[in-house]
Structure 1
């Protein structure tokens, strides 16, 4: 008698909580993260420090913020390859505006407006003209990155004008010991 793959899968039984957990990819990723953390804690003096965990949490929050927006795109069956370049472009708009003396309270809305304009262009090209999202966002990836390079003259921006301390607090500071970007991530996750 020849058994099919479906028959073999159907006959498999996973008894107990651990057996069921082991069938999920998330379990293995979590296990790898835990084992990696234990190894790094034992092998280095700096991994399990408060400062490093603060930095890891803060840096993860930026990725999480972008992932919240990308979740909506992916759920609707879309794709956006330009998101990283648009983040860089909006950061460059904010940084260059503040470096020229603009208030952070004007520079942030200007940067968000720039990102919104790029999203609007992408949306029009996809929804109205009918160009496939992969093609549009791949092209916009290069366009947004190029505009950011032109704005900055391909140089790093280190000075952010009179509101530099506010910008550094917003992106690198903390409130009650919790990294500010993590608080933003939590608020966005609750709102969406």
Structure 2
């Protein structure tokens, strides 16, 4: 009989304890968040460069160039985040950019409507992502091997389709297609608007939808997620399709901005995309990451690149600095993980 009144008392105490922990963690969550510190680093670098080179760095033209340049990487990084959350990786996004660009260029060259070219490009990216996802989720092949194979296959197909030449004659709809990726609204490049909208959409999806919860659950513990009824295979397939779609979208925008399509488009971009997600707080083991982190990671890499150029550092050293930041980001994750444990 005595247990009846004590159980509600224990429950209420537990609830109060949990609530207290949540209140304390809300105050500490920001300080323990890697995207927060990446944002601080970004602000500091911008402030230093604006003070050191106000006539070069702190100009509207340079701001326009920086935001436009990192928008393409940021768009792909948001899609890559979905894959990394499941504990996977997609090494093919750079090659998919080249393939999608060639597909769009050929369709425009054949004088089809610009909307047909964009749709064909997006379908190409989705199809490649579906192949990756099927082989990873349903066949059980390692994501590294599958997407590495797609990297080679997509680049080879782009070379074959383009006959190893640049495609720049976009037909009667070329001007409109170029405007989609090359114009601006309110002084901000169109790709930046696309990135902002995409980040908001996926930020909501990752945090407030069942599909987003499934991604985190799979990356945290795939076996446990499967036992609780999560459709693991289907969600993995969809994550790789999303990655292929965002790579295709970035390709459409960058081809429109450049006004030409080449099969070498996106070469090496997969490393910058993965770097953006890792720097922004994504864990390559899965279960951790977010849309904002992907965007701020891409922004930091581009600001570093731009700052090095402003400082007169040889462009060949850029990869070394980016690599250093990747290692530091992973090290910070390990340190935070040990503290939380």
With normalisation by structure 1, the TM-score equals 0.79
Task: Say yes or no: does 1:167 pair with 2:177.
Answer: yes
In the other structure, the counterpart of 1:191 is 201
Residues 113-192 of structure 1 mapped to structure 2, 5 A cutoff: 113-192=123-202
The 3 A distance-change label for structure 1 pair 40 and 74 is: same
Task: Say yes or no: does 1:34 pair with 2:52.
Answer: no
Distance 1:25 1:116 in 2: 29
Question: Quick check: 28-37 or 79-88, which moved more?
Answer: 28-37
Distance 1:83 1:60 in 2: 15
Task: Say yes or no: does 1:75 pair with 2:85.
Answer: yes
Q: Which has the higher contact order (CA 8 A, sep 6+)?
A: 2
Aligned residues of 1:58 and 1:172 also touching (Cα < 8 A)? no
Aligned residues of 2:49 and 2:58 also touching (Cα < 8 A)? no
RMSD: 2.6
Q: Deviations over 1:86-118 (max 9, x none)?
A: 122112211221122111110100011111111
With normalisation by structure 2, the TM-score equals 0.46
Residues 103-114 of structure 1 mapped to structure 2, 5 A cutoff: 103-114=113-124
- Among 31, 38, 61, the residue aligned to 2:71: 61
Q: Which runs of 4+ in 1 moved over 4 A?
A: 20-26
Structure 1 residue runs of 5 or longer lacking an equivalent are 1-19
Structure 2 residue runs of 5 or longer lacking an equivalent are 1-29, 203-341
Distance 1:36 1:56 in 2: 11
In the other structure, the counterpart of 1:13 is none
Aligned residues between the structures: 174
